[in-house]
């Protein structure tokens, strides 16, 4: 049990002691600075001092949600380092062979400022690296398991059963490796995740990522954002205590996502929340177009709240009309208060 260190057990215990969770801890720490009205005379608890968001700041040297938001195929790494994990080679028909190096490793990750979770990761990060190809490309992934448990990579998309990473004889034991190879097909917004048993535990521990296949004729240019709705069961009781997009609870409450007024914004939204059957995205002050699973270029829906089941995903497009800060969050209010909430700033 290499991943459960004494330190991480303490962290988990610490979060449990917050009781109601992140928000419940706020009034005590923010004191009189917070609040939306006069505090009661006794200056005690109650809802008078509520504030949104977590106390403290993340260590972005460990994981930077701003980088994850706009990175694909290790584009956030310097060229030389990137070449260790990603290579592309032109093929005769004009498509590409895209080769990846993915390593499963146990790692403690920060899910709220100062709150750590003993995760199982792809390449040390949760979500794992975003894999992006174009319809008709060949994807080849050398998967190495340096973790303490058997793991796999199971991709959504067309592929032979031998490449599915789900059957008992397809488990990659610690110290082992496997070469996955398949066509990028169909175009759409997909995901990959570990398919070892017990499945919900292997996924929830952090082994998942975005697999995006672009259509041959690209979608219109846009400011593109990857948002993975995830959550963490910090006391392992089969229920989540911390919710987020891209792991870091309430991160974008303090560092709003910056977008340009009048420019098309495209959100690749993937739901990998375990234990809760559905999750959702609600954007304030606007409506957006929805492309379910991203497998069509025609929108199916114009809404301001989109609900996704476990493993479901959708492409969301909108354009910001007015300058200022727009809140976004799960419309399950409990998730929003426990970390799944942020701000987009249009300027
Ligand atoms: Cu696994």
CA–CA gap between residue 164 and residue 345 (Å, rounded): 40
CA–CA gap between residue 202 and residue 193 (Å, rounded): 9
CA distances 243 to 22, 88, 99, 124, 333, Å, are 10, 35, 32, 19, 11
pTM of structure: 0.86
Ligand 1 mean position to 45 CA, how many Å?
A: 42
pLDDT higher than threshold 90 for residue 1: no
What are the two backbone dihedrals, phi and then psi, of residue 138, each rounded to the nearest 5 degrees? -105, 130
What is the predicted pLDDT for the residue at 50?
Answer: 53
Ligand 1 mean position to 22 CA, how many Å?
A: 28
Ligand 1 mean position to 300 CA, how many Å?
A: 34
Ligand 1 mean position to 188 CA, how many Å?
A: 24
pLDDT digits (tens, 9 = 90+) for 20-32: 344 433 333 333 3
For residues 158-181, average pLDDT: 96
Across-strand partners of 266? 224, 317
For residues 38-59, average pLDDT: 59
Ligand 1 mean position to 64 CA, how many Å?
A: 24
Ligand 1 mean position to 53 CA, how many Å?
A: 31
Ligand 1 mean position to 2 CA, how many Å?
A: 15
Name residues with Cβ closer than 5 Å to ligand 1, which is an ion. 151, 194, 196, 202, 207
Q: Tell me the pLDDT of the chain averaged across its residues.
A: 88
Ligand 1 mean position to 161 CA, how many Å?
A: 18
pLDDT higher than threshold 80 for residue 311: yes
Cβ neighbours for 272, distance < 8 A, ≥ 6 positions apart: 127, 191, 193, 203, 208, 228, 229, 230, 310, 311
Cβ neighbours for 26, distance < 8 A, ≥ 6 positions apart: 34, 49, 50, 51, 53, 54, 55
What is the percent of the chain where pLDDT is above 90?
A: 82
What is the predicted pLDDT for the residue at 55?
Answer: 78
pLDDT higher than threshold 60 for residue 206: yes
The more confident residue out of 187 and 46 is 187
Ligand 1 mean position to 191 CA, how many Å?
A: 15
CA distances 73 to 12, 78, 173, Å, are 32, 12, 25
What is the percent of the chain where pLDDT is above 70?
A: 85
């Amino acid at each position: 049990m290499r991943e459960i260190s004494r330190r991480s057990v303490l962290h988990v215990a610490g979060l449990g002691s917050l009781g109601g969770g992140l928000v419940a801890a706020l009034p005590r720490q923010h004191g009189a600075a917070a609040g939306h009205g006069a505090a009661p005379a006794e200056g005690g608890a109650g809802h008078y001092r509520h504030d949104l968001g977590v106390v403290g700041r993340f260590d972005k040297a460990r994981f930077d949600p701003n980088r994850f938001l706009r990175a694909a195929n290790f584009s956030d790494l310097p060229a030389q380092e990137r070449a260790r994990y990603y290579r592309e080679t032109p093929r005769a028909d004009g498509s590409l062979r895209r080769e990846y190096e993915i390593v499963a490793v146990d790692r403690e990750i920060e899910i709220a400022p100062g709150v750590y979770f003993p995760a199982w990761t792809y390449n040390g990060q949760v979500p794992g690296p975003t894999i992006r190809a174009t319809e008709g490309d060949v994807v080849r992934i050398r998967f190495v398991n340096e973790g303490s448990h058997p793991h796999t990579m199971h991709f959504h998309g067309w592929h032979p059963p031998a490449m599915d990473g789900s059957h008992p004889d397809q488990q990659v034991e610690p110290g082992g490796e496997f070469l996955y190879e398949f066509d990028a097909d169909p175009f759409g917004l997909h995901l990959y995740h570990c398919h070892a048993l017990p499945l919900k535990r292997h996924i929830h521990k952090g082994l998942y990522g975005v697999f995006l296949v672009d259509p041959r004729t690209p979608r219109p240019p846009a400011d593109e954002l990857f948002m993975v709705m995830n959550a963490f069961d910090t006391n392992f009781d089969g229920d989540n205590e911390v919710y987020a997009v891209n792991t870091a609870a309430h991160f974008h409450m303090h560092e709003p996502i910056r977008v340009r007024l009048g420019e098309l914004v495209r959100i690749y939204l993937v739901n990998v929340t375990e234990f809760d059957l559905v999750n959702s995205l609600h954007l304030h002050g606007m409506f957006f177009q929805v492309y379910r699973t991203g497998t069509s270029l025609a929108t199916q829906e114009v809404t301001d709240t989109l609900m996704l089941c476990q493993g479901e995903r959708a492409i969301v497009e909108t354009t910001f009309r007015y300058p200022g800060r727009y809140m976004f969050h799960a419309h399950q209010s409990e998730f929003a208060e426990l970390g799944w909430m942020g701000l987009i700033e249009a300027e």
